[in-house]
């Protein structure tokens, strides 16, 4: 198993901390008490000895966490140290002593100490500003100012609207692609364009997820909407499975990873997607017809398990061969009996007719 990079570890800690300060959580309730009282505070969420070595003095508390206890302890001058999942308060009135050599762009003493400690100990530190009436979360090199629920809902709503437009367009592209697959007239351009839009949808979905985490219980409806829309992205991987140039070093999973790692500017260029699929770095093959293996079309029949689909593709090699196969050959495929063979033929015919009617 590959080791996680420092960036991945910081991102995981950040996501975990963001969930802890989301509306509906006990910690968020405690932070609200502190803000409403017009006082400030510093919280350190970490179990590591590295963070402990950067703290001095303080009063040992060692009590289960409660919002009211957090509020009362915040009246002291120093920081409050909690365990990493904020279920226990370890100590209060602690002096934070991170190294001054650690860079910080903050101006206030409290925020500067929080940022430096977060970077040096790779810990989650929360700074509550009395003057700004705001809460800032620091985790390693990451910084985030918590926003109000209405602001977050507005941002999430705008992103969902954009996502919905992309999903509708992709759905139209996929229907057109399905028709071309039945006609055996799919070009490299058709494939690259569908994959490009599917990847854009995935990226917009990733932008919305932090809003959902930060919204906590207030983000349930946003989460449901996102799940409903983002499902269409999975079709993008099936397109890759159907049309990538198969080699030992160029699996569908690797192609998907390569496209996911592209910068936004690189994704705009279809040549890069064409290259990732294994057809070279230019679109001179734009008019080249590609044969579909049939993964996506077979998935749309809703009659077959993933194992059945794999067996059919392995047995026949392409969608066209599956469409032309007589019943006896279908029955001979592992896992496909007489009843299922008939269902496959009927389902594919129904899908083809349905697509033809939609075009009219």
* Best CA proximity match to 322, nearest among 337, 344, 299, 301: 344
In the chain, DSSP assigns E strands to 41-45, 55-56, 59-64, 79-82, 88-96, 124-129, 134-139, 142-145, 186-187, 289-290
List the helix and strand counts (H, then E) for the chain. 17, 10
The CATH homologous superfamily of the domain defined by 293-360:
5' to 3' exonuclease, C-terminal subdomain (1.10.150.20)
Taking the domains of the chain in order of start, what are their residue ranges? Answer: 6-146, 148-292, 293-360
Instruction: Say if strands 186-187 and 142-145 run parallel, antiparallel, or are unpaired.
Output: unpaired
What pTM was computed for the model? 0.78
Q: Which CATH fold would you assign to the domain 148-292?
A: Ferritin (1.20.1260)
| CA torsion through residues 84, 86, 87, 93, sign | positive
State which CATH number among 3.30.450.40, 3.40.640.10, 3.40.1700.10, 3.40.50.720 fits the domain covering 6-146: 3.40.1700.10
Distance of CA 228 to the CA centre of its chain: 14
Q: What is the pLDDT along the chain (360 residues), one digit of tens a residue?
A: 445 678 888 888 999 999 999 888 999 999 999 988 888 889 999 877 777 888 888 899 999 999 999 999 998 888 999 999 999 999 999 998 898 899 988 888 889 999 999 999 888 999 998 777 889 999 989 999 988 888 989 999 999 999 999 999 999 999 999 999 999 899 999 999 999 999 999 999 998 988 998 888 888 899 999 988 887 888 889 999 999 988 767 788 999 999 999 999 999 999 999 999 988 876 655 567 889 999 999 988 866 888 989 999 999 999 999 899 888 898 888 888 888 888 888 888 888 888 775 544
């Amino acid at each position: 198993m590959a080791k996680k990079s420092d960036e991945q570890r910081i991102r995981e800690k950040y996501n975990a901390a963001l969930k802890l300060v989301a509306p509906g959580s006990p910690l968020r309730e405690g932070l609200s008490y502190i803000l409403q009282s017009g006082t400030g505070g510093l919280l350190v969420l970490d179990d590591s000895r590295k963070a402990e070595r950067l703290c001095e003095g303080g009063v040992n508390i060692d009590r289960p966490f409660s919002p009211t206890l957090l509020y009362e302890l915040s009246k002291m001058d120093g920081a409050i140290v909690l365990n990493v999942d904020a279920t226990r308060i370890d100590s209060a009135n602690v002096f934070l002593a991170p190294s001054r050599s650690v860079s910080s762009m903050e101006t206030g003493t409290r925020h500067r100490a929080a940022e430096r400690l977060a970077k040096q100990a790779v810990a989650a530190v929360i700074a509550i500003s009395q003057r700004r009436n705001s809460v800032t979360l620091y985790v390693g090199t990451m910084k985030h100012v918590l926003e109000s629920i209405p602001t977050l809902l507005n941002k999430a709503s705008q992103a969902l609207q954009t996502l919905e437009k992309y999903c509708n367009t992709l759905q139209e592209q996929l229907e057109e692609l399905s028709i071309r697959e039945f006609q055996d007239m799919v070009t490299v351009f058709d494939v690259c364009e569908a994959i490009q839009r599917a990847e854009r949808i995935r990226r917009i979905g990733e932008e919305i997820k932090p809003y959902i985490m930060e919204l906590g219980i207030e983000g349930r409806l946003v989460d449901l909407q996102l799940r409903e829309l983002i499902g269409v992205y999975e079709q993008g991987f099936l397109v890759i499975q159907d049309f990538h140039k198969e080699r030992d070093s160029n699996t569908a999973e690797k192609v998907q990873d390569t496209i996911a790692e592209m910068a936004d500017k690189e994704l705009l260029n279809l040549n890069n997607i064409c290259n990732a699929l294994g057809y070279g770095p230019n679109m001179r093959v734009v008019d080249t017809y590609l044969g579909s293996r049939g993964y996506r079309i077979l998935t749309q029949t809703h009659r077959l398990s993933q194992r059945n689909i794999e067996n059919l593709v392995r047995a026949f090699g392409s969608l066209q061969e599956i469409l032309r196969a007589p019943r006896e050959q279908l029955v001979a495929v592992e896992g496909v009996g007489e009843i299922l063979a008939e269902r496959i033929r009927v389902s594919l015919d129904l899908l083809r007719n349905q697509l033809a009617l939609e075009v009219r």
